[in-house]
Structures are given as structure tokens and as C-alpha cells.
A and B are shown apart, each in its own frame.
Chain A
Amino acid sequence: MNPDALELAFLYEISSLTWTGSEVDFFDEIVEKAVRLSGAQRVALALYADTGKATCYTWGFGQNKGRVPKGQLKQNQPSGNVYFKELGSPPLGALYLEKNENFSDDERRLLDVFSGRLSNILQLHHWMEKSERLRERFRLVLENTPMVGVLSFDRQGMILHYNREAQQIFGWDVPPKSREWLVQIKPAADFQKFVAQVWETGQVVDPGEWQIQTPKGASRWVLLTLIPVKQGKKVEEVFCMVIDITERKQMEEELKRLSIFDSLTGLYNRNHFEQKIRQLDKDGVRPVSVIVCDVDGLKLVNDCLGHRQGDELLKQAATLIREVFPKEEAFRVGGDEFAVVLPEKNRESALEARSALMAAQEKYNKDHTVIPLSISVGVGVAESSRKSVYEAYKQADDEMYRDKLQRCAKGGYDIGRSLLASLFRKDPGMEGHVTRVKKLAWRLGKAAGLSADEIDKLLLLAEVHDIGKVGLPDRILRQDEPLAKEEEEEVKRHCEVGYRIARCSTELAPVAEPILQHHEWWNGQGYPQGLRGEEIHLHSRILAIVDAYDAMTSNRPGRKAMPREKAMSELKQRAGTQFDPYLVEVFLKLLQETS
């Protein structure tokens, strides 16, 4: 073959070399070419890593493998049977060739081209590896970044990359293959403009709050920023980074709500009331009427029936106010105090509203609750700018207080009586029982030698002794099926509840102790305190006998009345255990005399 043609062929072959995919295969190709194109009998290739470590591939050293003579590892010699060249600057490797005769000048020239080509390949490979490592790191970070959704898109809005978090935030099963995802971000029109601006300016924008609507209709708040990526001066790709801040927003809303609303009743709170009246003054709105309402007896309900019942009462009051004043702003301004602000309403209108509220209260008590609702109301008006709305509120508050005092003085409200009335409404049979028990109690009281005053108290006791049952569910009150153990315990508590109610009532306070003791037993095995004998109040001992006798001799749900003789026999049997034996004897004698 023509030497020039041969050289040209070799030059083509050398300059066409590329990276083969692995260092081992690359070295093998170098060996094949070095042997064929230069007659090399030994080849070594050192590859330097970024870490400073070198990997050395050798071929043809036979049993001298790895022992490349150090003296031969120097820069390219002008003559000789060794060719050595460092590859790249800074060096990425080195090439060593050896044969059994000297390399000619032409061969060295070709080998220089060969080395140059290897240098370029190594340099490119080095950069590709680096680039791949960076790419892989980026991919791992992108894929696994918690809480931050990342996606990128092109000018047409097509998604190029996305991570799991973005997929979750946007609610995709699979990312859309069109730009439709852009309208998920609301307000959509604003976002489109925002995106267009980023493409145009190529500027990173500060994070902002947006809403995302998922394909399934859920709405999320996100903190979103757009980051344009340029190729030269032109924006090629935009990254969208989103963080789901829905929970934070919900908390903010909740805090805001709590700062304005009363959590128990749902009305506006005191804080908002004061802001409102200040604003009305500032805006110069006149006239402004203020209605102040106060729930009567709340403390008594809390103390007697528990705070849960008290809270329920407040909520009922708030509901009533809401119904009567659907359009106006209503506020809870104190523990048991409410206010309604009526802008541009004069006194006359306010008084009409007051009447409506009272009428609603009446209707409410008739229809609903075990625990009746009683509200004291006052009205105040700021007719002109000379009087502030706050002063109108104070006026209303004072009027409300006067209303409360008047109602108390009239005796218009007594919680004890109210509860008793409620109890009788719930259990109609109870009224009859109470009447009979009163009669029997009177007779036994007289026979036992009680004074008139004592007999009055005894009769009062007979009337109200079961007032503690007012909070019991109807099912338990009716006693038409056996009670579970917890229900029995609940029934037993009616003595203590009745005691507390009686203590809160002026009228009933004298019979509070007997109410508490009316289920004690003579032998100490009663409840709630386990009193025995004459530790038990006389009135309670009397009541226990007559109450039991009436219970036995009356028809009850699920049980017929016992014959008189049998009831008497029962009393006799239990004398000394459940009942006071002396009083039983007196009572039985009375009954015999009657028959």
C-alpha cells in the first residue's frame, strides 16, 4: 500500500476514535490500534481520577506485568523504542508504548496525533462523567426533596421534569401532557401573566402565595416561585418550586377567626366588639343602638348542673340571638353577656327588637329546654356624635342590670322552681307521686309530733326531694327497663345534684340537707354518705318511709301496684334496716287506723 495512503488511513482511524463505553474496552481498542498502526508490543495507559488516584491498564508485559521500568516513564523521547506521552493539560492520563525496535519519526508523529486524540476523548469523557454525576445528584435531590415540589416547563407549558412532591401537591396521578396544569394555579389569569413575565424578563421572582386546585377538586395553598434557566441570553426552561402551606393558612385563618369570634357561641368576641364600636364612631354612623343581654342564673346552672350545662345554656342563648338578629352583628362581650349592635336604628327600633327577643325567649322555653332560658335585656342609643357608641353600650348595660334586679325582686325567676317544673313536664307521673307523698308525709309528721314549721319544711321536702333527677335522660327517669350499673350510679347522684340545686335557691335551701339524705338507710347502708340511725335527718327518715310506701302502692311502668297489706308488711320487714323502726311503727299504726 502507498505510504501516504497508509498514513492517511491511519490518520482517519485515529481521529475517528471515540469513547467506547468502558475503560476496559477503551484500552482494548487502544491496544488494537497501537499494535496494528505502530507495531507496539507493549502498551500501558494510566487514567487519573479527580481524587488523584490513577488506574493503570497494561498489556503485553507478560510476567513483568505492572513493572514498567521507571526510567522509561518520562516525557517523550526523541528516539528509542519507547513512546510516552501525558494526555491532556492538566493531564488526565498517560500513554506508554514499547516495541522491539525504535519508533521512526513518522511513527512518532502519528502517535502524537493518536495521543492528542486520546487526550480529547479523555477530556470529553471526564466532562461527561462530571456532568452525569451532577445530573444524577440533581436528579436525586430533585426526586427526594421533601416538602418542596419542583417541576420545570418549556415555553409551551409542557412539563419537562417533576418530582414526587410536585405530583402530590398538584394532585396528579400522572403529570398532564399539555399545558392544562397551568390553570390549576389560581387565580389562573394572574398566574398566566406572571409566567409570561418570567419568560420575558428572565428574572427570578420572589415567592408568593397562590392556590392550587387539584383535578379532584381539592384546594391547596402554596408558596410558589418561578426560576428561569437561560441558555445564553434566552430563557430555555422555567423551574416552578412549590411548598404546600395549606395547613399554615388554615392555622392563620383559625387564629384570625379566634381573634374575632367567640369559640363557644360562634358570635363575634369582645375584641371585635370594641373594634366595631370604634369603627362606628370613626365613620360617624348615627344613630347606633346597642342591645345588651345577660343570661340569668348562669352561675347557678354551672354550680348545680355543671359547666357543660352552663355552656349549653350560653349556646342556646346565642342561637336565640342569632335567630332574632340574623343580619346584625352579635357579640359575646362577657361570660354571660351578649351585645347586638344596630347601626342606623333609633331607640324605637331597638325597643321593638328587644320585645322580639323576649317573645322569642318565651317561645323557646315553651318548646325546648329542660333548663329554661332567662335573659335580662337593656337598650342604649347613640343618637348623635355627642354620644359615643361605647356610651350607648354602657347605657344598655345599666338598663340590663336594672332589668335583672327587677326580675329578681319580683321573684320572677327561681332556678329551683324552674327545674322542678321542667321535671314534672318530663315525667308527668311525678306530680301525682309528689302530691300523695306530701299527704302521707303530713300525716306521719303530725303523728311524729313535728311542729307546724317543721311540717312545712317536710312538705317542701316531699315536693322537691327528687329535683336532682332533672338532668336524667327520659329513659332512666321512666325506669321501664332494667338499668345498667352506670345508669344506677347516675340515678344515685340525684341526691347530691338535688342538694346543690336546693342550696342555690333561696326557697329550697332549708331542705337541702334532707334532700341529700333521703336515700340513707337506718343501718348505714344507704347512699350517698352511709349515715346511720339518727345521724339521718328526721325529715329524710320520714320521707323515706312515705316515699317507699307510695312507690309500692302505685302503678309504675312495668310494675303493678302492690296491695296495701303487702306494702305494710314490706315496711315492717325493713324497719331497722332501711327505715327508722319507730317511725315505721307510727306509720303502720296510722295506716291501720285509716283502714
Chain B
Amino acid sequence: MHVQVGVGYSLLPNSQEAAKEAARLAVAQSGPPVLTFLFTTERYNQTEILEAVIAETGTPKLVGASGAGIVTVEGIKKHGVGVVTIAGEGITAETALVEMLPDRADETGRKLAEKLLRGSAPDEGTVFVFPDGLSGNIARMLRGIYDVLGPQFKYAGGGTGDNMRFLRTYQMTETGVASGAVAAALVAGCSFATGIGHGWEPFGSPLLITRARGKIVFEIDEQPAFQVYSRRLEGITSEEFPFCAVRYPLGIPDITGKFIIRDPFKLGADGSIEFVTEVPPRAVAYLMRYTRVENLLQTALGATMQAQKTVRTPQFALIFNCVSRAELMGEHANREVEIIRNTLGGLPMAGFLTFGEVGSYGSGVPLFHNKTFLIAVGGTSLL
């Protein structure tokens, strides 16, 4: 079985032209695709882009996401359109686009998974999930997906984003463009291996999440959350919070000893802190930091190599990189792309800057991460 992949991107400002250019480039490489990945940024008419890509590629199935930037072989682009087309005999794809139910995120996940299984459902494959990074309880939604699909599938993806204004993000399939939804694609016949890491390290003594509900942490160590957070960072003020929140997330350990990052997002009037995604109540957490950019680069490299070596014949890579990580790395973010490109030996690669990442450390159960680099290397089969 041979996978044909096409990758294209465009930085043209016009939505249709950019879409056409990126799609044309991709489909020229892959031929008529079974599945198309579409990554966009702000300043475009998402519907026009979608329609143009579908028209240009003739793809029957498409899954797409907006982000704070697209990842290309030439680095991260703040504005652009990226297209990845996948073709090949034996490759099947199914997509689904479901609105996120505010109070029943797990139901959303189950509904999405059931839609992916309609028709002739494969026994294994890879599920790419692109939830709206601004809405709902994504971690619980992923548990809903997994509940239906189970451990025979792999999971990867990222939360859709915008240009850091946190206003509106977009999720797409061939059926249309949505916001506040989850888009997903189930791909079979093309194997993917994932690598994941963040490079942040714990510091200081542990914190006890004594009262939390969903994304909001009310109390740490039985005291108002921000009061403790501030104290741990030597008395930061609420004005300094946005600067510190990006740099000092919380990390929740798992069985492997690795930390799942949780980004603080905003302060509540009652001293609570809202995070980008759910924080497990009564968890033990640590403040996290990165000491050197090199650590971050090493992490990305390690994740890439990990994924690459698991695939028999790597043919392309999809990258889902946390926007805050990229922002902190600054110019080093493009260095990271270069390192990955070199590691992959020039394989086609594309992706976008995400608001949170979908992947697992070891158990295969998809978790939602922050500040994480995730790469999915695709090929014919796994080792």
C-alpha cells in the first residue's frame, strides 16, 4: 500500500486565491485525495476557502481547523492557508462535525465518534480531532470519543485557535464551517505514529487543587487560587498575571511521571483562576517553567524522532504545536520547524498553531494538553 501525500500552502491575502493555490499545489502531488486536511488562519473568509479547496481538490472528505498560524516546511506563518491531501488505495476516511454541548461534553464526544463510525467502520485507524479551543470541556469530550471508539484507534489533533484575541475559531469538514464545534476525521489504511512533549519542568513544592470545577480552580491549598499562585511567584499582581500565566503553567503528573500542562487563562473576581481546559479537582500539581529554549527544541526533536521511528516508511508529518509555546520561543519557533524538517529528511509536513493539543503519553487514551508539541507521522504501516 502506498500513500500519496500532497502538501501545499499559500500566503496570498485573497481567500479564494490562497485556497486555490494551496490546494492546487497539494493535489498536484497526491492526485485526487481521499481526505484533505485544511489549516487556516484569521483574515480569511473560511467558507470561501473551504469551498475553493473542495472545488480544487475534488476531495470527498475534508477536515480543517483555524489556528494562530500555519506550520509549513519554511516555518510558521501567521497568515496563510495550508492544505494536505492524502490519497492511496485502501485509504478510507470519514469525517464529522458536531456542535459542542455546553454541559455534556462527553455526550458531544460520543456523538462525534458515532458519526465517524457510520458506514463501514474500520477496526483501527487514526482519529484527528479539532475541537474549538475556546469552548467546552475538551478533556471530557475526548473521553466521550474514546468511550465509543476505544483503544484500537490512535488519537491526535489540536484545539482550533485565532490570532490570540480569543474571540472566534473555526472547525471544518466538507459539510461546512462551524464555531463552537468539534471537527474530526477517522483515517484508516494510512498508519500514524505520534510523538508528544512540552519541555516544561516542575519547580517548587507541590500545590493541592483543593477546589475546582471544570476549567475553573477556586482554591489551591484551601486558599483562593490566585492568592497562592501569586505567592508562589513572589507576589505577582493581577496585571502581571497574563505575562506569568503564559510562562508558568501548572503541571499535573500522570502514571508515567510526565506532566500534563494546564495553562492559566484568566482571573475570576473571587480569586479563582480559569484555565484553558479542565483541571482535575483534588489533584496534586506543580508550577512549571522552561529554563532554556533548548529544552523545548529538544522535546520537539525527541517527539519527532519517537514518532518517526515507529513508522515503517514515514511519508509525511502533521504538526500541532501550541501557540503559546511558539510565542514564547519567538524566533526559535522557526528553528524548531527547521530541526523537525531536517529530522524528517524533508518529508512533506504541515500543521497549525493550536489552542491545546490532543494526544497521549503512553496509554493510548487521548488527553488534552497545553503548551505541548505533537507530531503525527504518517506512513504505510507501523513497526
Contacts and interface: CB of A to CB of B under 8 A. Distances in A.
Contact of B150 (A3, A18, A61, A99): A61
A29 B281 CA distance: 9
A12 B284 CA distance: 7
Contacts of B106: 28
A3 B253 CA distance: 11
A284 to B, nearest CB: 89
Interface in A1-28: 1, 3, 5-6, 8-10, 12-13, 16-18, 28
B143 A13 contact: no
A36 B282 contact: no
A28 B257 CA distance: 22
Given A59-B147, A60-B151, A1 B253 contact: yes
Interface string B143-175: 100111111100000000000000000000000
Given A35-B365, A36-B255, A41-B365, A16 B206 contact: no
Contacts of B257: 1, 3, 6
B27 interface: no
A36 B280 contact: yes
B363 interface: yes
Interface in B248-294: 252-257, 259-260, 280-284
A99 B363 CA distance: 8
B148 to A, nearest CB: 6
A39 B367 CA distance: 12
B217 interface: no
A37 B257 CA distance: 9
A99 B151 CA distance: 9
A5 B121 CA distance: 43
A13 B280 CA distance: 9
Interface residues of A, number: 36
A186 to B, nearest CB: 53
Contact of B283 (A13, A42, A62): A13
A193 B184 CA distance: 77
A11 to B, nearest CB: 9
B139 interface: yes
Given A32-B139, A60-B150, A40 B363 contact: yes
B364 A62 contact: no
Interface centre among B149, B152, B282, B362 (most CB of A within 10 A): B282
Nearest to B150: A62
Contact of B363 (A8, A16, A41, A62): A41
A37 B367 CA distance: 13
Contacts of A9: 206, 253, 284
B348 interface: no
Interface string A506-522: 00000000000000000
Interface in A397-437: none
B246 interface: no
B208 interface: yes
Contact of A37 (B139, B146, B255, B259): B255
B329 interface: no
A36 B202 contact: no
A163 interface: no
Interface residues of chain A: helix, strand, loop or mixed (majority): helix
Interface in B237-254: 252-254
Contacts of A532: none
A512 to B, nearest CB: 101
Given A5-B206, A9-B206, A63-B117, A37 B150 contact: no
Contacts of A64: 150
Contacts of B256: 39
B202 A1 contact: yes
A166 B364 CA distance: 64
Contacts of B77: none
Nearest to B281: A29
B99 to A, nearest CB: 20
A37 B254 contact: yes
Contact of A59 (B146, B208, B284): B146
Contact of A41 (B259, B281, B364): B364
Contacts of A99: 363
Contact of A13 (B146, B151, B284, B362): B284
Interface in B101-132: 106, 117, 121
A31 B146 CA distance: 11
Contacts of A62: 147-152
A100 interface: yes
B371 interface: no
A10 B283 CA distance: 8
A107 interface: yes
18 contacts: A5-B206, A9-B253, A10-B284, A12-B208, A12-B284, A13-B284, A18-B282, A28-B143, A32-B143, A35-B143, A39-B254, A39-B256, A39-B362, A41-B364, A59-B147, A60-B147, A61-B147, A99-B363
Interface of B: 106, 117, 121, 139-140, 143, 146-152, 202, 206, 208, 210, 252-257, 259-260, 280-284, 362-365, 367
What are the 7 tightest A-B residue pairs by CB atom distance, in nearest-first order? A62-B150, A9-B284, A16-B282, A39-B363, A36-B254, A1-B257, A41-B151
Given A10-B284, A36-B252, 9 more contacts: A6-B257, A8-B284, A9-B206, A13-B280, A18-B282, A40-B365, A60-B146, A60-B147, A63-B121
